[in-house]
Amino acid sequence: MCALNRFFSLALIVLGLFAKSRSVADSTPTLTWITGSSCKLEQIIGDVDWEAQAQGSNRPVASLTETRFQILGSGEGYSFEDRGKLIFLFGDTISGIDSLRYDGADPLAWSTNTDGDAPLVLNFFTNNPSSNSQFIPIFVQPPGLQMTADDVPNSGIRLSDSIFLICTSGSDPHLPDPGVNNFSDVVTFDETTLPITSAGSFTTNRVISMLSSNLDPKSPFQGHFTICSLHEFGTNVLVYGAGEYRDSDVFLSMVPAATFATGEGTRYFAGLKNGLPIWSTEQSNCVPVVDDNPTNGPAWPTNTGTVGNMSVVYCPNLNMWLMTYDGGRSANLADHNTGVYFTYASQPWGPWAKPQLIFNKLRDHGSGVFIHDPGLPYDDGLDGPIIGVGYDPTNTAGGDFAPLMIERFTKVTNATLFIYYAMSTWNPYTVVKMRSAFTIAPCIDPDSLAYDGTRGFMFSWTAPTNEIFSVDYSTELPTTNWLNFTNIITSTNGTFRFTDHGLRSGGLGGNKFYRVRTAQ
C-alpha cells in the first residue's frame, strides 16, 4: 500500500552528488490526501444534529449543549491540552432562549475524550445554576478588552502554571470592513480560582499585533498575528499567525515560554537560508512560512492570501508538524479552490509542503448535506439556526471555516495518517467534527547514502514507527525480477536503516538498484 514507488540507482559514482546537498536535504515522508476521505463524524454544538433532522431523524448531539448549557449555536473550536483535559475555545455564541442575549460572547469548554472516532463530550465552564436549573456558561471577558461580535479567543496554550489565550478584539460592525482595526492580546485564564467568573478569571497582559490604516510602519506590533495558533517547542512557544481576517498568509514568531506574558525575547521568522531559519526582532521583517496561493499566482508579497483561521499540531509518530487552515478563497466557487487546506513540515519553520485542498463544500459533499445551500432546486432543511442581524437563514448560504485540529486525536495506522478537526459551518450555525486521511510514503534520506569498503552500502529513510519494511534489489532497470534481502527492518524512533554487505546480493561491484516496501 505504501511501497516507495521511486527507484534509486546507487552506483558509487553518484554518491558525491548527494553529499553536496547535506545542508538542505529533507527526508520528510510524503503525505498525500486520500481523495474523498474528508467527512463529518458528528455535530458537537446544539442538541439535535441538523443534518439528521433534515433527513427526518432526531439524532442527538453527544453534549446536548442547548439543554445543559443554553448554547444553541457557536463557531470555531480551538483546542489545547491542559493537564489531562482538552480545553476548547469557542467564538460568537447564540442561545435558543430569546431572553438570553449572548451578543456574540465566547464560552470555554473542556473534555476528557481521547478517541477521535468516539462521540465528543463537552463540558462548558459555568457559573451558578440559573433559576431554571440550567447552567449559564462563563464567557471570555478580559478586563479592558471589547469581546462582542467577531471578537473571539482564537488560540490557547498551557505553560507551566498558567493558561494563556490569544484574544482578537477591536471589531466594528459599523465599518465596511469590521476587522480593519483588529488587534490581538495575550490573556491569562485562571481556572483554579473558584467560582470561575468572566471578570475575575482573566487577566489582560500585552498586545501581540494590530491592524490599522494609520499604523506606523515602524510600530513593533504590525499586523501579522491578529489570529494565531500556539505550540510549545522546547523552551519556546511557536506563534503561527495571520493578519487581517481572510486577507493574509501564515507567519511565525517564537517567544521564550518563561516570558510569554511579557513577550520579551520575541523573534520573527524572516526566511530560510541554506535550510536554516533567519530570525528578526522586528515584526515588520516577517515573511510567510506558508503562502495561501492555490492557483499558483504571483508569489508573496504580491499574492493575495485569504487565510482565516489556522491550527498547527505536532505528530510524534511522524516527527512532523501539521497545519490546517481555511483559505483559497475565490469569487468563483465553481473553481473549487475555497476550503480547508493541509500542509506539513519536518521543522516548524519549514520548508512546508505545497498545501493540499482537503475539503471543499461542493466537491466533498458538504453543501446541501450538512451545510445549507439555498441554490438547490429543493429545500435541504438546513436553514438555521444562524447568527447575526439581518440574515435570512433561508437565503443565506452556509460555509466552512476555522478547521482547527484536535492534536490528541491525531493518529497513524499502518501507512495512513488521520487528522481530526473542529470545523464551523455558518448556516446552520454550529461546529462539526471532521476527519481526513493521508497516505504516508517513506522518503529515503539522500544524506544517508554512504559506502564503506568494510561494512558495505548504507542508506536510511523515515516513516511511522509502527511500520515494518523490507528491501529488494536488482542489477538492472526496468525489471520484474526484484530479489529480496528477507530481513525485516523496524524502528523505534522513525528512522529505518539498511546496509547491503554484499554477502546476500552477489557482492558490491557494479550498478545496483534498491526499492523499499512495506512488509505487512
Give the pLDDT confidence score for residue 2 in this predicted structure: 31
In a domain, 3, yes or no: no
Helix, strand, coil shares of the chain, percent, nearest 5, are 5, 40, 55
Same domain (yes/no): 478, 406: no
In a domain, 171, yes or no: yes
d(CA 36, CA 130): 45
Range of weakest confidence among 63-67, 407-411, 514-518: 514-518
> Which comes out higher in pLDDT, residue 181 or 406?
406
Q: Are 408 and 86 in contact (CB under 8 A)?
A: yes
In a domain, 1, yes or no: no
Number of domains in the chain: 2
Domain boundary among 441, 471, 501: 441
CATH code, domain with 256: 2.115.10
In a domain, 115, yes or no: yes
Alpha helices in 356-481 (DSSP H): none
Same domain (yes/no): 22, 50: no
Q: With 60 as the cut, is the pLDDT of residue 336 above it?
A: yes
Same domain (yes/no): 513, 404: no
Average pLDDT over residues 169-194: 89
Cα–Cα distance list, 332 to 291, 303, 427 (Å):
20, 17, 20
> Which comes out higher in pLDDT, residue 152 or 331?
152
Q: Which residue has the cell 546480493?
A: 505
d(CA 105, CA 113): 25
Same domain (yes/no): 337, 218: yes
Same domain (yes/no): 110, 190: yes
In a domain, 2, yes or no: no
Per-residue confidence band for 263, with pLDDT thresholds at 50, 70 and 90: very high
Domain assignment of residue 465, given as a range: 8-29+443-518
Same domain (yes/no): 141, 155: yes
Domain boundary among 424, 441, 458: 441
Same domain (yes/no): 349, 479: no
Same domain (yes/no): 174, 126: yes
Taking every pair of Cα atoms in the chain, the longest distance, rounded to a whole number of angstroms, is 86
Per-residue confidence band for 134, with pLDDT thresholds at 50, 70 and 90: low
Same domain (yes/no): 362, 465: no
Same domain (yes/no): 184, 81: yes
In a domain, 158, yes or no: yes
CATH code, domain with 499: 2.60.40
Give the pLDDT confidence score for residue 116 in this predicted structure: 98
pTM over 0.85: yes
Average pLDDT over residues 348-363: 96
In a domain, 385, yes or no: yes
Domain boundary among 421, 441, 461: 441
| pLDDT tens string 38-72 | 999 999 999 999 999 999 999 999 999 999 999 99
Q: With 50 as the cut, is the pLDDT of residue 414 above it?
A: yes
Q: Which residue has the cell 481526513?
A: 436
Give the pLDDT confidence score for residue 445 in this predicted structure: 78
| pLDDT tens string 289-309 | 999 988 888 888 888 899 999
In a domain, 423, yes or no: yes
Same domain (yes/no): 105, 225: yes
| pLDDT tens string 84-102 | 999 999 999 999 887 677 8
Q: With 80 as the cut, is the pLDDT of residue 478 above it?
A: yes
Same domain (yes/no): 397, 465: no
